[in-house]
Amino acid sequence: MFQLLRDGQPRTRAELAQLTGLARSTVTARVDALMRVGLIAPVGGATSTGGRPPSLFALNPAARLVVGADLGATHALVVVADLSGAVLAEERAELSIASGPDSVLGWLCDAVARLLQEAGRRAADLGAIGIGLPGPVEHDTGRPINPPIMPGWDRVDVPGLVQQHFKVPVLVDNDVNIMALGEQAMAWPETADLMLIKVATGIGAGIISSGQLQRGAQGTAGDLGHVRVPRGDGVACRCGNTGCLEALAGGPALAAALSADGKKAYSSQDVIDLVRSGDLQAIQAVRQAGRDIGDVLATCVNLVNPSVIVVGGRLAQAGEHLLAGIREVVYRRSLPLATEHLRIAPSVAGQRAGVLGAVSLAIGHVLSPEAIEAAASA
Amino acid sequence: MFQLLRDGQPRTRAELAQLTGLARSTVTARVDALMRVGLIAPVGGATSTGGRPPSLFALNPAARLVVGADLGATHALVVVADLSGAVLAEERAELSIASGPDSVLGWLCDAVARLLQEAGRRAADLGAIGIGLPGPVEHDTGRPINPPIMPGWDRVDVPGLVQQHFKVPVLVDNDVNIMALGEQAMAWPETADLMLIKVATGIGAGIISSGQLQRGAQGTAGDLGHVRVPRGDGVACRCGNTGCLEALAGGPALAAALSADGKKAYSSQDVIDLVRSGDLQAIQAVRQAGRDIGDVLATCVNLVNPSVIVVGGRLAQAGEHLLAGIREVVYRRSLPLATEHLRIAPSVAGQRAGVLGAVSLAIGHVLSPEAIEAAASA
DNA sequence: CAACTTATGTTGGACTATCGACAAAAGTAT
DNA sequence: ATACTTTTGTCGATAGTCCAACATAAGTTG
Predicted pLDDT at B45: 67
Predicted pLDDT at B295: 94
Please answer yes or no on whether B227 and A307 come within 8 Å at the CB atom. Answer: no
Q: To which H or E segment does residue A376 belong?
A: helix A369-377
pLDDT in tens, B255-293: 999 999 999 999 999 999 999 999 999 999 999 999 999
Q: Three-state DSSP class for B279? A: coil
Quick count: other Cβ atoms within 10 Å of Cβ A78?
Answer: 26
Q: Determine contact, residues B117/B104, Cβ cutoff 8 Å.
A: no
Angstrom distance, B12 CA to D24 C1': 18
CA distance A333 to A291: 11
Q: Which nucleotide is the nearest neighbour of A50, by CA and C1'?
A: C28
Who wins on pLDDT, A128 or B7? A128
Short-list B140, B25, B64, CA closest to B372: B64
pLDDT in tens, B168-227: 999 999 999 999 999 999 999 999 999 999 999 999 999 999 999 999 999 999 999 999
**Distance from A185 to chain B by nearest Cα, in Å?**
18
Q: Determine contact, residues B307/B342, Cβ cutoff 8 Å.
A: yes
Predicted pLDDT at A89: 98
Does nucleic acid strand C have an atom less than 7 angstroms from the CB of B13?
A: yes
Q: Given pLDDT bands bounded at 50, 70 and 90, which one contains residue B21?
A: confident
Q: Determine contact, residues A91/A114, Cβ cutoff 8 Å.
A: yes
Predicted pLDDT at B346: 97
**Distance from B206 to chain A by nearest Cα, in Å?**
9
Cross-chain CB nearest to A303 (options B145, B221, B307): B221
Cross-chain CB nearest to A217 (options B146, B303, B305): B305
Would the pLDDT of B3 be above 80? no
Does nucleic acid strand C have an atom less than 7 angstroms from the CB of A53?
A: yes
* Helix ranges, A58-148 (H): 101-119
Q: Given pLDDT bands bounded at 50, 70 and 90, which one contains residue A7?
A: confident
Q: Which nucleotide is the nearest neighbour of B16, by CA and C1'?
A: C7
Predicted pLDDT at A324: 97
Q: Given pLDDT bands bounded at 50, 70 and 90, which one contains residue A1?
A: low
CA distance B338 to A201: 20
Short-list B34, B31, B10, CA closest to B22: B31
Predicted pLDDT at A45: 67
Q: Whole-model pTM? A: 0.92
pLDDT in tens, B50-67: 888 888 889 999 999 999
Q: Under 8 Å CB-to-CB from B267, ≥6 apart: which residues?
A: B251, B252, B255
Mean pLDDT of B352-362: 98
Angstrom distance, B30 CA to C4 C1': 30
Angstrom distance, A2 CA to C20 C1': 23
C-alpha distances in angstroms, B245 versus A67, A195, B150, B241?
46, 23, 21, 11
Would the pLDDT of A90 be above 70? yes
Would the pLDDT of A21 be above 90? no
Buried (b) or exposed (e) across B165-204, using 16+ Cβ within 10 A? bbebbbbbbbbbbbbbbbbbbbbbeebebbbbbbbbbbbb
Which residues does chain B have within 8 Å of residue A145's beta carbon, measured at their own beta carbons? 337
Who wins on pLDDT, B229 or A310? A310
Who wins on pLDDT, A307 or A2? A307
Which residues does chain B have within 8 Å of residue A244's beta carbon, measured at their own beta carbons? none
Q: Determine contact, residues A222/A207, Cβ cutoff 8 Å.
A: yes
What is the share, in percent, of chain A residues with pLDDT greater than 90? 77
Does nucleic acid strand D have an atom less than 7 angstroms from the CB of A343?
A: no
Q: How far apart are the first and last CA of chain B?
A: 18
pLDDT in tens, A294-347: 999 999 999 999 999 999 999 999 889 999 999 999 999 888 888 889 999 999
CA distance B103 to B73: 14
Predicted pLDDT at A320: 93
Cross-chain CB nearest to B296 (options A299, A304, A340): A299
Tell me phi and psi for residue A376, to 5 degrees. -70, -35
Q: Given pLDDT bands bounded at 50, 70 and 90, which one contains residue B378?
A: low
Q: Three-state DSSP class for A210? A: coil
Does nucleic acid strand D have an atom less than 7 angstroms from the CB of B48?
A: yes
Who wins on pLDDT, B230 or A302? A302
Q: To which H or E segment does residue A333 belong?
A: helix A321-333
Mean pLDDT, chain A, as a whole number?
93
Which residues does chain A have within 8 Å of residue B299's beta carbon, measured at their own beta carbons? 224, 227-228, 296, 299-300
Please answer yes or no on whether A216 and B209 come within 8 Å at the CB atom. Answer: yes
Per DSSP, which regions of B121-262 are E strands? 126-133, 137-138, 143-144, 170-174, 194-199, 203-209, 212-214
Please answer yes or no on whether A299 and B227 come within 8 Å at the CB atom. Answer: yes
Tell me phi and psi for residue B266, to 5 degrees. -115, -10
**Distance from A218 to chain B by nearest Cα, in Å?**
7
Predicted pLDDT at A141: 97
Predicted pLDDT at B187: 97
Q: Determine contact, residues B56/B12, Cβ cutoff 8 Å.
A: yes
Top residue of B295, B302, B344 to mutate, by most chain A CBs within 10 Å, is B302
Predicted pLDDT at B336: 82
Residue nearest to nucleotide D19 (CA to C1'): B23
Cα atoms found within 13 Å of the Cα of residue B8, Cβ hemisphere only? 11
Does nucleic acid strand C have an atom less than 7 angstroms from the CB of A44?
A: no
* Helix ranges, chain B (H): 13-20, 24-37, 101-119, 158-163, 175-187, 246-249, 251-260, 268-276, 280-304, 321-333, 336-339, 353-366, 369-377
Go through the domains of chain A in sequence order and give each one's CATH number.
2-61 (1.10.10.10), 63-180+354-377 (3.30.420.40), 189-350 (3.30.420.40)
Would the pLDDT of A377 be above 90? no
As to burial, measured by CB atoms within 10 angstroms (0-12 exposed, 13-18 middle, 19+ buried), residue B377 is exposed
As to burial, measured by CB atoms within 10 angstroms (0-12 exposed, 13-18 middle, 19+ buried), residue A23 is exposed
Task: State the Rg of chain A over Cα.
Answer: 23
CA distance A156 to B167: 55
Residues of B with CB under 8 A from a CB of A: 136, 145-146, 192-193, 205, 207, 209-210, 212, 214-224, 226-228, 230, 239, 241, 295-296, 298-300, 302-307, 333, 335, 337-338, 340-341
Q: Determine contact, residues B315/B198, Cβ cutoff 8 Å.
A: no
Please answer yes or no on whether B227 and A193 come within 8 Å at the CB atom. Answer: no
As to burial, measured by CB atoms within 10 angstroms (0-12 exposed, 13-18 middle, 19+ buried), residue B235 is middle
CA distance A278 to B378: 72
A42-46, A140-144, A153-157, B68-72 — which is least confidently predicted? A42-46
Please answer yes or no on whether B305 and A218 come within 8 Å at the CB atom. Answer: yes
Per DSSP, which regions of A234-294 are E strands? none
Would the pLDDT of B251 be above 80? yes
Please answer yes or no on whether A228 and B305 come within 8 Å at the CB atom. Answer: no
Top residue of A145, A246, A337 to mutate, by most chain B CBs within 10 Å, is A337
State CA B176 to chain mean position distance: 7
